[in-house]
Chain A
């Protein structure tokens, strides 16, 4: 069966197509070349003047797993203003900062997103993350396994095990947890917090293991490289939210020593200590460092004003930040000699100097980094703002006068401390297509997604162009998932299940012997049950696994 999208204006950065009028053909869920004139086209959509991009990909969004579910349970007030009724097609639920899984899937699809990646899957909680993601309809899913605070790795580093063994362990974790990448959160700091350390600098030692965050970053960066994992090590660095952390971030970039590294929600790691309030923007220096180091990619973690909830694996710094909880309740957990988490509700206020400057810092980073292939659009949902604010964020990037209008309403001191008003840059549709489609797909190693070339999965979003980019990106005209129309005029018209993207890097299986003995002695589940079978995703989750190739 052939479907033809006729006369659309296509943005496909992978193929260098920048707003050209093209026809797109879909056959059996894939984008295909123009068929010969004798072939019958079963369905034709007239896309005259409409903007066509591949489906958007969110590289960092907390959509499933323990801490998200804690946020849901803790915050009934979050849901009350955004209750979602059932329809003949869709299930009920709720939206906002900690939305239900079903609503999460519908809303992402309705915004033109066709793939979302959970960045903080704790290995011991991986099963839950996959169970929740199984209940997120329409979009494709995947997750990065979190390492770097697990006692197993720290024991290896303390014992100075060779890199090959560490890489085997990382490979084993990816396989066992059905992950697509590796993330590290406050390397070593979460573990140190369990020994009552309250902060950990890049070169400071975990007092039990004598291992520094730099050691951990080095070992994991190498493991990711050696295993051929397409997505670089996904780094939530040390000192999140701490004024002055811009130095840590630049040191971390240097610690990569030229190897690929992804620094996530970098806005939260770009703070200086200048000025009367000892809080200033480090965006200029951070952007300069990113521009100079082509091995580095980032996502921003933009904050937007309003009530949200911060949900993070970084128990050390979530504990430190709990004094700012709004409303005044918060959760911190130590988890299974593996990881931790902290859930702290928070309200970003535009009249607050700090929050307003955070808003400026995020936008400055977006606008000062030259290469949109290495910057991804995120709010670190829900930590900076709920993902539903992406269209607003896109307008801030594409529309300088709109940006300056809002700048004029926020805390005046913060606005005065920011160079934002002096930046003329406006993102183009091509830039947006790069940072929300082509770039993330490339970074994750998803070769047949994020573009509109022949052979690509037909995940396609079609917009009506509008001067108001927030309106345009809020409500696509059409969204196709695997070639099927799933959204029309911003509303779900068909519910189906996306796939789960995973990797199967090769590793020396003899690592299981060491792991087996570790599990027997120190863990409270067996090694065999820790591993997640394909069947748990396929049969029990009614899903499908796609194994992406390693490099």
Chain B
């Protein structure tokens, strides 16, 4: 993208943007008297994340301004009194999550992420079937057929620029040979029109019908003849053509976003993607790619897995990690009154609100979060990659990137707050 303004002040190159899961790391950001401006490679999410002016905020105990020390003391007291806390949200970086893990072990907490439903849809498939997956650089250089299943990737603003319509690629990927397919409803398929005007193939169906379409394609690919004229409103002939394209692709990719597959038992839809990818790999090369990882969700799941052995939705109440992806959701443990204190952590976004519960609540959130209740403790926290350095995982769960400190901040890091709490034990 083009330059937006003249360069004044301190310029930082190669800034990784933590505000969505694809972690673009080519931003050029200017710091002029602690006000940030993205000079190159912006998107609306990045602009909002880096540039938005935030009014000053303070730690509060029961709605009353306090010192950070007193607020941390209060966090300790709330957790100390709790038999079974819930630590959720988990919008933080690697070190923040390390501190969360330590604190959960110490306090016997349940852990879930604000995007826990989306994470779990994928995890269930990993644990039932496994998959063949690929990463962004492979798509950029190899993919010649890309199927967007139930997502248009519009939330990931620069995804198309970076790995679909990229100008350079190493192998046979010629822009006019790249085939794009969309399956689903209410998708912005205009994004799939190539720079030369080539239109994508569109299969309109309801989100809950995507699995049926993919399974029908799978059946056709195995050589079965469908004796119906339509599947979920799509002509069987059209599916046969697509099946043939899938078989003859050199490197096909199915892209989904588990958050966009918000239907009951969406894991079965994802399973159908992974099944057909595995079958196609007998013939050619095909892979899946999951778009997500917002608010540090890929990060928190990875750190949880290496420190406990399990991905998220773990309960430490018995003194060891007890994993149950259905049971230990934020929604369930609050509904079933299985927890008696709530800690919410969200350092990337003020948009997603913490759950309201009639138990003592600790909120560690961005300074500009608007709450409609007074939690027992509120601590405004710094944003990793803006206010302090750190590390974060990209959606493919392979690449992780260093985050830079690009402005001064008076707010504490999540890991500082939690480690101070831990010291009191």
Report the interface size for chain A: residues with CB under 8 A from the other chain: 65
- A540 to B311 alpha-carbon distance, docked (Å): 22
- A14 to B133 alpha-carbon distance, docked (Å): 47
Judge whether B402 is part of the interface by a CB distance below 8 angstroms.
yes
Determine the chain B residues whose CB is within 8 A of the CB of A74 once the complex forms.
126-127, 130
For B115-141 the 0/1 string (1 means CB < 8 A from A) is 000000001001111111111111011
Known: A124-B399, A334-B287. A93 touches B281 (CB 8 A): no
B14-A336 in contact (CB<8A): no
Partner of A135, one of B105, B128, B137, B306: B306
How many Å from the CB of A200 to the closest CB on chain B? 15
Judge whether A162 is part of the interface by a CB distance below 8 angstroms.
no
For B285-322 the 0/1 string (1 means CB < 8 A from A) is 10100000000000001110111111100001011111
- A329 to B105 alpha-carbon distance, docked (Å): 30
- Of residues B25, B163, B250, B390, which shows the largest number of chain A Cβ atoms within 10 Å of its Cβ? B25
Known: A76-B127, A329-B128, A536-B391. A100 touches B141 (CB 8 A): no
How many Å from the CB of B403 to the closest CB on chain A? 10
A69-B305 in contact (CB<8A): yes
Judge whether A533 is part of the interface by a CB distance below 8 angstroms.
yes
A127-B141 in contact (CB<8A): no
A524-B94 in contact (CB<8A): no
Chain A contact residues: helix, strand, loop or mixed? mixed
Determine the chain A residues whose CB is within 8 A of the CB of B402 once the complex forms.
127, 529, 532-533, 536
Stretch at the interface among A22-30, A43-51, A78-86, A476-484: A78-86
Judge whether B16 is part of the interface by a CB distance below 8 angstroms.
yes
Known: A72-B306, A92-B319. A329 touches B129 (CB 8 A): yes
Judge whether B411 is part of the interface by a CB distance below 8 angstroms.
no
Residues in B244-286 with C-beta less than 8 Å from chain A: 250-251, 281, 284-285
A76-B400 in contact (CB<8A): no
How many Å from the CB of A105 to the closest CB on chain B? 11
Known: A83-B320, A83-B321, A540-B390. A529 touches B306 (CB 8 A): no
A522-B307 in contact (CB<8A): no
How many Å from the CB of A461 to the closest CB on chain B? 26
Judge whether B401 is part of the interface by a CB distance below 8 angstroms.
yes
How many Å from the CB of A152 to the closest CB on chain B? 10
Determine the chain B residues whose CB is within 8 A of the CB of A122 once the complex forms.
398
How many Å from the CB of B410 to the closest CB on chain A? 21
How many Å from the CB of A313 to the closest CB on chain B? 12
Determine the chain B residues whose CB is within 8 A of the CB of A195 once the complex forms.
250, 285
- A337 to B135 alpha-carbon distance, docked (Å): 9
Determine the chain B residues whose CB is within 8 A of the CB of A237 once the complex forms.
none
Partner of B306, one of A101, A329, A525: A101
For A268-286 the 0/1 string (1 means CB < 8 A from B) is 0000000000000000000
Judge whether B194 is part of the interface by a CB distance below 8 angstroms.
no
Known: A64-B306, A72-B306, A100-B309. A521 touches B316 (CB 8 A): no
For A68-107 the 0/1 string (1 means CB < 8 A from B) is 1110111110010001111000011110001111110000
- A68 to B307 alpha-carbon distance, docked (Å): 12
Residues in A119-149 with C-beta less than 8 Å from chain B: 122, 124-125, 127-128, 131-132, 135
Known: A92-B320, A93-B309, A335-B398. A524 touches B127 (CB 8 A): no
A85-B320 in contact (CB<8A): yes
Known: A73-B127, A522-B140, A524-B137. A333 touches B132 (CB 8 A): yes
Judge whether A19 is part of the interface by a CB distance below 8 angstroms.
no
Determine the chain B residues whose CB is within 8 A of the CB of A334 once the complex forms.
133-135, 138, 142, 285, 287
- A127 to B397 alpha-carbon distance, docked (Å): 12
Judge whether A33 is part of the interface by a CB distance below 8 angstroms.
no
How many Å from the CB of A89 to the closest CB on chain B? 12
Judge whether A528 is part of the interface by a CB distance below 8 angstroms.
yes
How many Å from the CB of A145 to the closest CB on chain B? 15
B399-A93 in contact (CB<8A): no
Determine the chain A residues whose CB is within 8 A of the CB of B251 once the complex forms.
194
Partner of A86, one of B105, B130, B169, B250: B105
How many Å from the CB of B127 to the closest CB on chain A? 6
Partner of A529, one of B25, B305, B398: B25
B105-A196 in contact (CB<8A): no
Judge whether A468 is part of the interface by a CB distance below 8 angstroms.
no
Partner of A335, one of B106, B130, B138, B169: B138
A522-B168 in contact (CB<8A): yes
Judge whether B407 is part of the interface by a CB distance below 8 angstroms.
no
Determine the chain B residues whose CB is within 8 A of the CB of A507 once the complex forms.
none
Judge whether A523 is part of the interface by a CB distance below 8 angstroms.
yes
B310-A73 in contact (CB<8A): yes
Chain A residue at minimal CB-CB distance from B13 = A528
Judge whether A151 is part of the interface by a CB distance below 8 angstroms.
yes
Judge whether B30 is part of the interface by a CB distance below 8 angstroms.
no
How many Å from the CB of A320 to the closest CB on chain B? 11
A522-B137 in contact (CB<8A): yes
Determine the chain B residues whose CB is within 8 A of the CB of A151 once the complex forms.
141, 170
Known: A83-B320, A332-B132, A523-B137. A73 touches B400 (CB 8 A): no
A100-B308 in contact (CB<8A): yes
How many Å from the CB of B302 to the closest CB on chain A? 6
A336-B135 in contact (CB<8A): yes
Judge whether B98 is part of the interface by a CB distance below 8 angstroms.
yes
Judge whether A159 is part of the interface by a CB distance below 8 angstroms.
no
Judge whether B373 is part of the interface by a CB distance below 8 angstroms.
no
Judge whether B186 is part of the interface by a CB distance below 8 angstroms.
no
Known: A83-B321, A92-B308, A337-B137. A522 touches B169 (CB 8 A): yes
Please list the residues of chain A having a beta carbon within 8 angstroms of any beta carbon in chain B.
64, 66, 68-70, 72-76, 79, 83-86, 91-94, 98-103, 122, 124-125, 127-128, 131-132, 135, 151, 193-196, 208, 319, 325, 329-338, 343, 521-526, 528-529, 532-533, 535-536, 540
Please list the residues of chain B having a beta carbon within 8 angstroms of any beta carbon in chain A.
13-14, 16, 25-26, 94-95, 98, 102, 105-106, 123, 126-138, 140-142, 162-163, 168-171, 250-251, 281, 284-285, 287, 301-303, 305-311, 316, 318-323, 389-391, 393, 397-402
10 other contacts beyond A100-B309, A195-B250, with CB at 8 A cut-off?
A91-B307, A131-B94, A135-B307, A329-B127, A331-B126, A332-B133, A333-B135, A336-B135, A524-B399, A528-B13
Give the top 6 A-B pairs by smallest Cβ distance, nearest first.
A94-B309, A329-B130, A521-B168, A524-B136, A100-B309, A83-B320
